[in-house]
Amino acid sequence: MKKILITGGAGFIGSHVVRLMVNKYSEYQIYNLDALTYAGNLENVVDLEGKNNYTFVKGDITDKSFIDNLFKQEQFDGVIHLAAESHVDRSILNPMDFIYTNIVGTVNLLNAAKETWKANYAGKRFYHVSTDEVYGSLGKEGLFTETTSYDPKSPYSASKASSDHLVRAYHNTYGLPVVLSNCSNNYGPNQFPEKLIPLSINNIINKKPIPIYGKGENIRDWLFVVDHARAIDLIYHKGPIGETYNIGGHNELTNLELIYTLCDLMDEKLGREKGESAKLITFVTDRAGHDLRYAIDASKIQKELAWVPSLQFPEGLEKTVDWYLSNTKWIENILSGDYEKYYENQYKNR
Ligand code: NAD
Ligand code: TYD
């Protein structure tokens, strides 16, 4: 039985990756390693508890001796690394957490994998999951390809860029068998409500202002989270060692376009008059250093691994809204924690 370590599996994307792998590969033993920071939530994987091929391990990737011991003890065959500090606004408030987890934590995993596997790399694989934000910000034209130069602009994207470079350096220097991917903005069930879509859904439900940074003209390329998980599965199994794949939804929207669409959908779902939720839109002070546009050229993964998104944005958005509306307890549990304090601090005086 192959042992696969997935880090960050009680967070948003990681929980979908863990679910896909546990359900699809009964011949794998899947270890979900997560520190359960504010963004980690075991409710995200509650359906997997008790499955024979699933083990949850609580632990911090910045803790070198813990990581070394875990690798020595379990002798993993592969790693899919998603654990990270992931929110740009938090990286502006407190960059150090991003340096420790995203850079030091990644290097701890790389070192542990190298030490455990160095006698024989055959059949081993270290998959690093990254973001398109490492490429910086686009103007009105152009797309990020796998060869676009790195030009990260926020502490978050700079920490992810740094970890990407280190993963490639371990491949080049020590021959560590790695694959990487850089994906555009994800949306879907289980996303922590600090991010634009779930934050807006929650505020619409509660008739609170929807804070739009600047003029709402910034563009993101949105991908349904399950399609990202499908791409990760493909790349982990079929991507040649040393390769990088860009993953994106071919779905560019300005923040305002997105929020108007969401407001209309929420009016329908909540039985409100059309236009009611859009009245909540409130323009607030822009994010410092706010990247204008991200957009992905996903032709490499499409051509080489035959991956295409399984659904279009309207369908994905409806699935997302339906999930949040039928999982109000999930949101309530988050709102009862430290999140309220973060929200107050982040949006006061904007
Ligand atoms: P998330 O914040 O929802 O989840 C991150 C998880 O990592 C949480 O469960 C958290 O507890 C865990 N974690 C944080 N620090 C840890 C530590 N020191 N040790 C162990 N676990 C720790 O993030 P997400 O949106 O699911 O993103 C997952 C990965 O995908 C990240 O690497 C992110 O950079 C990347 N990514 C995200 C997006 C996106 O749109 N969300 C897009 C492209 C790439
Ligand atoms: P976010 O979900 O934080 O993802 P990222 O910064 O990684 O792209 O933000 C998506 C877009 O929405 C981004 O342009 C910033 C904007 N935004 C707002 O306008 N208001 C908000 O309250 C938040 C959280 C984001």
pLDDT digits over 263-319, tens only?
999 999 999 999 999 999 999 999 999 999 999 999 999 999 999 999 999 999 999
Round to whole Å and give the CA distance between 267 and 273: 6
Round to whole Å and give the CA distance between 38 and 86: 11
Cα 26 to averaged position of ligand 2 atoms, centre (Å): 37
Residue 101 Cβ inside 6 Å of ligand 1? The answer reads yes
Q: Please tell me the predicted confidence (pLDDT) of residue 341.
A: 84
Round to whole Å and give the CA distance between 257 and 217: 9
By C-alpha distance, which of 224, 237, 256 is closest to 4? 237
Chain position carrying tokens 């508890």? 49
Angle ∠(168,174,175) on CA atoms, nearest 5: 75
What atom of ligand 1 comes closest to residue 195's alpha carbon? 41
| Residue 25 in domain | yes
Smallest CA separation from ligand 2 atom 13, residue: 218
Q: Among the bound ligands, name the one nearest to the CA of residue 100.
A: 1
| Residue 100 in domain | yes
Is the CB of residue 37 less than 8 Å from the CB of residue 84? no
Cα 73 to averaged position of ligand 2 atoms, centre (Å): 40
Smallest CA separation from ligand 2 atom 25, residue: 196
Round to whole Å and give the CA distance between 227 and 248: 9
Q: Count of alpha carbons within 13 Å of 57, Cβ hemisphere only?
A: 20
Q: Among the bound ligands, name the one nearest to the CA of residue 295.
A: 2
Residue 199 Cβ inside 6 Å of ligand 2? The answer reads yes
Token pair, residue 336, equals 């009862």
Whether 100 has a pLDDT exceeding 90, the answer reads yes
| Residue 177 in domain | yes
| Residue 126 in domain | yes
Smallest CA separation from ligand 1 atom 37, residue: 131
Smallest CA separation from ligand 2 atom 14, residue: 218
What atom of ligand 1 comes closest to residue 186's alpha carbon? 40
Round to whole Å and give the CA distance between 126 and 103: 15
Whether 215 has a pLDDT exceeding 90, the answer reads yes
| Residue 145 in domain | yes
Is the CB of residue 215 less than 8 Å from the CB of residue 254? no
Q: What is the CATH number of the domain that holds 227?
A: 3.40.50.720
| Residue 212 in domain | no
Residue 84 Cβ inside 6 Å of ligand 1? The answer reads yes
- pLDDT tens across 30-60, in order? 999 999 999 999 999 999 999 999 999 999 9
- pLDDT tens across 157-213, in order? 999 999 999 999 999 999 999 999 999 999 999 999 999 999 999 999 999 999 999
Q: Among the bound ligands, name the one nearest to the CA of residue 293.
A: 2
Residue 177 Cβ inside 6 Å of ligand 2? The answer reads no
- How far is CA 9 from its chain centroid? 10
Cα 86 to averaged position of ligand 1 atoms, centre (Å): 5
What atom of ligand 2 comes closest to residue 291's alpha carbon? 14
By C-alpha distance, which of 112, 96, 262 is closest to 187? 262
Cα pseudo-dihedral 165, 168, 170, 174, rounded to 10: -150
Residue 161 Cβ inside 6 Å of ligand 1? The answer reads no
| Residue 59 in domain | yes
Confidence of residue 226 (pLDDT cuts 50, 70, 90): very high
Residue 255 Cβ inside 6 Å of ligand 2? The answer reads yes
Token pair, residue 165, equals 């470079």
Q: Give the count of domains, the chain.
A: 1
User: Domain span at residue 79?
Assistant: 2-191+222-250+294-310
| Residue 229 in domain | yes
State pTM to two decimals.
0.98
Q: Please tell me the predicted confidence (pLDDT) of residue 337.
A: 80
SS (H, E, C) the chain: CEEEEEECCCCHHHHHHHHHHHHHCCCEEEEEEECCCCCCCHHHHHHHCCCCCEEEEECCCCCHHHHHHHHHHHCCCEEEECCCCCCHHHHHHCHHHHHHHHHHHHHHHHHHHHHHHCCCCCCCEEEEEEEHHHHCCECCCCCECCCCCCCCCCHHHHHHHHHHHHHHHHHHHHCCCEEEEEECCEECCCCCCCCHHHHHHHHHHCCCCEEEECCCCCEEECEEHHHHHHHHHHHHHHCCCCCEEEECCCCEEEHHHHHHHHHHHHHHHHCCCCCCHHHHEEEECCCCCCCCECCECCHHHHHHHCCCCCCCHHHHHHHHHHHHHHCHHHHHHHHCCCHHHHHHHHHCCC
Residue 131 Cβ inside 6 Å of ligand 1? The answer reads yes
Is the CB of residue 229 less than 8 Å from the CB of residue 13? yes
**Which residues are designated catalytic?**
132-133, 156
